[in-house]
């Protein structure tokens, strides 16, 4: 029964990883930008939430109503300025620029927010749980995060496949130049895609901040790494693969922890390595977005 | 200026005019002072060998390359510095070489994307499905699953969805079976009759001569010959197409007036003309 519990906990944790990975996957799928500042941006969202809550006294769990639109706007502006300028100079430049952005964010946060750990206080919700049988205990927060991840990915999938803007995003992802020749301002479409990606990053950052403590360097130390692993395991640019990848990573970590607490991270990395060797294209083979 | 002379000037004014266009790809000069005038409703063809600059010309008119000098005028308006998507709004639409459909989108989605910045006009999904009667049944199929000829038809449909005033067609026949090429070229008179101005690039010279009211031949970035197909002799076209080597070592001037006596030995026939 403890193994079943480990798998259930892994699925829950996978929801958080999938939420992290979603924005990374979208940015790569549409713009071919590998955003090395992804994890740091999630942490910034958590810090912004701390500020927003202090100023507006909005309940912590509702802070996303303000933080997500703020972050989406930041995403659009950042894409239209810095990231577009990097893209114009080649895909490799975006790696350098987002790496630089990551360094700037981490040091900026340490300078202005100190290196102390923070958390988003959600009171008793952080520990409330319910039990199934005698062995399986599910925390409400974990369940909510998993549900949010599934809803976000489902919603994004529906948006991309059925809306006009989603169609334009897929067209630009397929062939940027042909999109221009069809009358599409691809820079604007990139901006819209970045806004959506940053919105999901903000959600992931908030979920992380409620789930555990965060500090200025945790974005690169943990968030970026797990998001990357989820995306690679699932298959680059595929949203369903991202969900599956996140959940597989979560399950691997929890099952590893079942052997020994120190094996949690190791088990996740091993799965990542095995997938890289045996199936480098990821578990989903479809190349197109959505 | 009086009303009458203004409207007279309007009448004379070509719908698309290219003046002294020069384009560089890095160090390489792809176009040298190319000028063109397309009256509204005309169908003109650019012919020339590989690398003569035909595609560069169309891509520059569509806005994908910035010229080093020269101007592009649409109905008298300077569009030289407009972004490609803004030129689509103005009515200049390119069907690119190699078709370049959106492979993961369905046939219908490709057409819908083509209508993103559509001008008001006669073309909509229904009209396009009327023109290509097989499309409606397969609208949900992914573009990647269509045959080459079908993809070319969808690429034309996608361009029509924008309601172009000037339609630029780059190498429609590339990689297609002759029967498919004939069918696609058979559509052009219909489009021209609807008032559309067409500039096409074609390596298959016989195809270009058959469909165009005026032919321009490019050689190494320069216009070497132009005129209605009926007034041009095969020899003229041949020398304009290949460049003329007066001396056996190939150092002859390319500025020579085209003529039979300057034909390079063994230069062969006009490509495609014998079919």
**Same domain, residue pair B144 and B55:** yes
Residue A164: its chain B contacts at CB < 8 A? 112
Residue A180: its chain B contacts at CB < 8 A? 63-64, 83-85
Does the pLDDT value for residue B75 go beyond 80?
yes
Q: Is residue B53 part of a domain?
A: yes
Does the pLDDT value for residue B60 go beyond 80?
yes
Does the pLDDT value for residue B273 go beyond 60?
no
Residue B243 · residue B263 · CB < 8 Å: no
pLDDT tens track for A207-262: 999 989 999 999 888 888 999 899 989 887 678 889 999 999 999 999 999 988 88
**Same domain, residue pair B56 and B24:** yes
**Same domain, residue pair B151 and B161:** yes
Q: Which of A168, A174, A183 sits opposite B162 (nearest CB)?
A: A183
Q: Is residue B2 part of a domain?
A: no
Residue of A nearest to B119 (CA): A183
A194–chain B nearest CA distance, Å: 20
CATH (domain of B95) = 3.40.50.300
pLDDT tens track for B145-186: 999 999 999 999 999 999 999 999 999 988 889 888 988 999
Q: Is residue B260 part of a domain?
A: yes
The mean pLDDT value for B82-111 works out to: 96
> How many inter-chain contacts (A to B, CB under 8 Å) are there?
74
**Same domain, residue pair B211 and B177:** yes
Q: Is residue B166 part of a domain?
A: yes
**Same domain, residue pair B34 and B170:** yes
Q: Is residue B1 part of a domain?
A: no
Average pLDDT across chain B, whole number: 86
How is A52-68 classified by DSSP, letter by letter?
HHHHH---GGGTHHHHH
Q: What is the pLDDT of residue A208?
A: 93
B100–chain A nearest CA distance, Å: 6
Q: Is residue B97 part of a domain?
A: yes
| Class level of CATH domain A2-278 | mainly alpha
Q: Is A167 on the interface with B (CB under 8 A)?
A: yes
Q: What is the pLDDT of residue B6?
A: 52
The Cα–Cα gap between B202 and A245 comes to: 49
Do A171 and B105 lie within an 8 Å CB cutoff?
Answer: yes
Instruction: State the residue range of the domain holding B204.
Output: 14-232
**Same domain, residue pair B134 and B238:** no
How many CA atoms lie less than 13 Å away from B145 in the CB half-sphere?
Answer: 9
Q: What is the pLDDT of residue B248?
A: 44
Q: Is A174 on the interface with B (CB under 8 A)?
A: yes
pLDDT tens track for B202-226: 988 888 899 999 999 999 999 999 9
**Same domain, residue pair B94 and B228:** yes
- What pTM does this model have? 0.87
Q: What is the pLDDT of residue A189?
A: 97
Low-confidence ranges of chain A (pLDDT < 70): 1, 237, 285-290
Do B114 and A178 lie within an 8 Å CB cutoff?
Answer: no
Q: Is A162 on the interface with B (CB under 8 A)?
A: no
Q: What is the pLDDT of residue A240?
A: 85
pLDDT tens track for B3-40: 555 555 555 679 999 999 999 999 999 999 999 999 99
B83–chain A nearest CA distance, Å: 8
Please tell me the total count of domains within chain B. Answer: 2
Q: Which of B62, B101, B116 sits opposite A184 (nearest CB)?
A: B116
Residue A183: its chain B contacts at CB < 8 A? 85, 88-89, 93, 114, 116-118, 162
Q: Is residue B4 part of a domain?
A: no
Q: Is B97 on the interface with A (CB under 8 A)?
A: no
Residue A182: its chain B contacts at CB < 8 A? 85, 88, 113-114, 116-117, 158, 162
The closest of A123, A145, A175 to A16, measured between CA atoms, is A145
Q: Which pair of structure tokens corresponds to residue B248?
A: 């056996």
Mention every residue, 6+ apart, whose C-beta is less than 8 A from residue B54. B46, B47, B48, B170, B201, B218
Where do the domains of chain A lie? 2-278
DSSP element (H, E) containing A19: helix A2-31
B266: left (phi over 0), alpha (psi -120 to 50) or beta: left
Q: Is residue B224 part of a domain?
A: yes
Q: What is the pLDDT of residue B194?
A: 85
**Same domain, residue pair B258 and B194:** no
**Same domain, residue pair B216 and B247:** no
**Same domain, residue pair B60 and B87:** yes
Q: Is A54 on the interface with B (CB under 8 A)?
A: no
Q: What is the pLDDT of residue A238?
A: 79
């Amino acid at each position: 029964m403890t193994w079943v519990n480990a798998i259930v906990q892994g699925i829950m944790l996978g929801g958080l990883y999938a939420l992290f990975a979603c924005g990374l996957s979208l940015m790569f799928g549409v713009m071919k930008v590998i955003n090395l500042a992804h994890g740091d941006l999630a942490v910034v969202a958590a810090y912004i939430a701390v500020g927003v809550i202090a100023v507006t006294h909005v309940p912590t769990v509702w802070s996303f109503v303000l933080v997500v639109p703020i972050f989406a706007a930041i995403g659009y502006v950042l894409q239209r300025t810095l990231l577009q300028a990097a893209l114009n100079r080649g895909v490799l430049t975006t790696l350098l620029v987002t790496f630089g952005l990551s360094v700037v964010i981490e040091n900026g946060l340490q300078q202005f927010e100190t290196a102390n750990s923070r958390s988003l206080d959600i009171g008793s919700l952080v520990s409330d749980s319910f039990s199934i049988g005698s062995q399986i205990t599910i925390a409400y927060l974990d369940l909510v995060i998993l549900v949010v991840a599934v809803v976000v990915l489902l919603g994004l999938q529906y948006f991309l496949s059925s809306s006009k803007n989603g169609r334009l995003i897929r067209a630009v992802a397929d062939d940027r130049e042909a999109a221009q020749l069809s009358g599409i301002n691809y820079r604007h479409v990139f901006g819209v895609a970045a806004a959506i990606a940053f919105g999901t990053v903000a959600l992931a950052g908030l979920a992380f901040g409620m789930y555990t403590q965060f500090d200025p360097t945790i974005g690169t130390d943990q968030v970026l790494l797990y998001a990357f692993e989820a995306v690679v395991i699932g298959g680059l640019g595929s949203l369903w693969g991202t969900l599956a990848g996140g959940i597989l990573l979560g399950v691997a970590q929890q099952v590893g922890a079942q052997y020994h607490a120190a094996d949690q991270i190791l088990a996740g990395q091993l799965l990542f390595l095995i997938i890289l060797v045996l199936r480098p294209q990821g578990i989903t083979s479809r190349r197109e977005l959505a | 200026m009086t009303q009458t002379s203004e409207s007279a000037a309007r009448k004379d004014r070509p719908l698309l005019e290219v003046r002294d266009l020069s384009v560089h790809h890095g160090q390489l000069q792809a176009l040298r002072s190319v000028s063109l005038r397309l009256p509204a409703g005309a169908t003109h063809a650019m012919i020339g060998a590989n690398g003569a600059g035909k595609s560069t010309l169309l891509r520059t008119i569509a806005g994908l390359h910035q010229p080093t000098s020269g101007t592009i005028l649409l109905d008298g308006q300077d569009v030289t510095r407009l972004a490609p998507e803004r030129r689509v709004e103005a009515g200049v639409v390119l069907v690119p070489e190699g078709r370049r459909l959106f492979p993961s989108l369905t046939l219908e989605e490709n057409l819908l994307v083509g209508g993103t910045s559509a001008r008001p006009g006669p073309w909509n999904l229904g009209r396009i499905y009327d023109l290509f009667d097989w499309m409606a049944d397969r609208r949900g199929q992914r573009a990647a699953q269509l045959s080459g000829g079908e993809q070319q038809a969808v690429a034309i449909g996608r361009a029509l969805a924008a309601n172009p005033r000037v339609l630029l067609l780059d190498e429609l026949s590339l990689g297609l079976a002759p029967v498919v090429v004939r069918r696609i070229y058979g559509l052009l008179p219909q489009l021209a009759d609807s008032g559309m101005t067409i500039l096409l690039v074609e390596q298959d010279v016989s195809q270009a001569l058959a469909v165009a009211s005026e032919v321009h031949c490019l050689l190494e970035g320069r216009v070497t010959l132009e005129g209605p197909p009926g007034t041009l002799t095969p020899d003229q076209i041949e020398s304009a197409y290949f460049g003329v080597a007066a001396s056996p070592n190939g150092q002859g001037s390319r500025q020579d007036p085209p003529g039979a006596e300057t034909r390079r030995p063994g230069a062969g026939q006009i490509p495609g003309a014998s079919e």
